[in-house]
Structure formats: structure tokens, C-alpha cells
């Protein structure tokens, strides 16, 4: 299943989405398969959730059903039960293999409101020219330092917008890490306004483009 978070729904956390999605499954009457054990729960497997605050057109999950259903019917029933801004884009029968293994790269759009376009273009050029550029981020295990440049496949600027294609590895380099790197290169880009981030695509990078993970 491919789903989107649009508008104000960008501020829904992964946990918020999970609660809303399970309520929508119940309201829509989708016959779910459940795990075994003392406390059964619906068979739902999420993959690579976007950061809270980021809009997205390309989030993915797998769910197990207790009956064979038409995928388009499932999509329509869920969309009728989902809150505003949370949209099921596509539902297909699961292919063999791991969905998560087909999600290795993302295409993002970052809007840096109020920046000077020439300064932004210069920072992008500087980052692309660098062999390595480290940033710091607080994680659950403490402050971590890692290389942003290694994850960047493509990076370009147009006005106040940055177009980014990045690999998803360990540690995971997020769009705000790239923004931090641009600020390090050009401190004048700091405007005090958070970047508006949208994930446009997610899949595997074949050297030229991001392949559709549901086309397998």
C-alpha cells in the first residue's frame, strides 16, 4: 500500500498515523489477519516512515488480510474512513520478497522560505563539490556525527527550492541533515523559518531513477 500525508497531516507522527489507520480499518470493515499469541494485533508492517513535519506522497506499508479482496475496493473503503490529509494512493497484491528491501532511496523537495537563491545555489554547489561533510544530530543514544555527502545522489536548487535524491542507509541521512549541511556551508541561509519538506518518491535507485516498489 502507498499512502500520503498532505496539508496539516504532515504534523502527524508515525504513531499518530498508526492509530488513525487502525481506526480506519475497523470503520471500513476490512477483514484483517491477526498475529498469534496472548495479545493479537493486526498484521501491519510499516517501512521507512517519513519524519514528523514532512509531507509525503510516497509512504508504504504491508497488511495481511483474512480474505481475498479487490485492491481498489480496499483503497476506496479506507479513504472514506481516513482523516483529512491521510490518503491511500494505491493498493496492490503483495509481491514476493521484502518491501523494505525495495526502499533504498527517496526523492525530496525542500522549500527554504526567505533564502537568497544565489546563496542557496552556491551552498548546493559547495556540498556537491565536497568529498565529505559531517553534521551532528541528537539520537536516542546521544549526539551522533555522520557524513551527509555520502548519502546525496542528486542535489539541485531552483529559487528557494532544493531537489534532493538521497540513499537510505545507516545512519539514515534525513532532509533536515542536508539543510544543516547547507547552513554550515553558507550561514547566511539561516532565516529562522523551518524548511518545508515533502517526500515525492521512494523506491530503489537504478542509477538513473527511483524504481516503483509496487511495480514488482
Q: What is the per-residue pLDDT for 44?
A: 93
Please state the φ and ψ torsions of residue 164, each to the nearest 5 degrees. Answer: -130, 135
At 9, is the secondary structure helix, strand, or coil? helix
User: What pLDDT, in 10s, does the model give residues 78-124?
Assistant: 999 999 999 999 999 998 888 989 999 999 999 999 999 999 999 99
Say if residue 160's pLDDT is above 80.
yes
Worst-scoring range by mean pLDDT, 60-64, 114-118, 135-139, 145-149?
A: 135-139
Q: What is the 3-state secondary structure (H, E, C) of 47-70?
A: ECCCCCCCEEEEEEEEECECCCCC
Find the mean pLDDT for residues 133-162: 92
Measure the CA–CA gap between 60 and 52, rounded to whole angstroms.
15
- Between CA 27 and CA 205, with CA 21 as vertex, the angle to 5 degrees is 140
Worst-scoring range by mean pLDDT, 50-59, 131-140, 158-167?
A: 131-140
Measure the CA–CA gap between 160 and 52, rounded to whole angstroms.
22
Nearest to 2 by CA among 92, 106, 102, 76: 92
Q: What is the per-residue pLDDT for 97?
A: 86
Say if residue 216's pLDDT is above 80.
no
Cell of 179: 539543510
Q: How confident is the model at residue 36 (pLDDT cuts 50, 70, 90)?
A: confident
Amino acid at each position: 500500500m502507498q499512502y500520503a500525508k498532505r496539508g496539516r497531516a504532515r504534523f502527524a507522527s508515525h504513531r499518530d498515523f498508526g492509530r488513525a489507520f487502525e481506526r480506519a480499518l475497523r470503520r471500513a470493515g476490512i477483514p484483517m489477519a491477526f498475529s498469534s499469541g496472548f495479545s493479537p494485533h493486526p498484521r501491519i508492517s510499516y517501512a521507512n516512515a517519513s519524519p514528523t513535519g514532512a509531507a509525503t506522497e510516497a509512504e508504504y506499508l504491508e497488511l495481511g488480510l483474512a480474505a481475498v479482496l479487490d485492491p481498489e475496493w480496499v483503497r476506496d473503503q479506507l479513504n472514506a474512513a481516513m482523516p483529512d490529509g491521510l490518503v491511500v494512493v494505491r493498493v496492490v497484491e503483495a509481491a514476493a520478497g521484502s518491501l523494505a528491501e525495495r526502499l533504498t532511496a527517496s526523492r525530496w523537495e525542500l522549500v527554504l522560505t526567505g533564502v537568497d537563491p544565489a546563496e542557496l545555489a552556491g551552498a548546493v554547489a559547495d556540498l556537491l563539490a565536497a568529498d565529505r561533510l559531517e553534521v551532528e544530530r541528537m539520537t536516542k543514544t546521544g549526539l551522533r556525527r555522520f557524513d551527509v555527502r555520502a548519502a546525496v545522489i542528486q542535489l539541485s536548487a531552483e529559487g528557494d527550492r532544493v531537489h534532493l535524491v538521497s540513499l537510505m542507509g545507516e545512519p539514515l541521512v534525513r532532509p533536515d541533515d542536508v539543510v544543516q549541511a547547507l547552513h554550515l556551508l553558507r550561514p547566511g541561509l539561516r532565516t529562522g523559518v523551518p524548511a518545508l519538506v515533502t517526500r515525492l518518491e521512494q523506491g530503489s535507485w537504478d542509477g538513473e531513477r527511483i524504481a516503483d516498489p509496487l511495480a514488482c
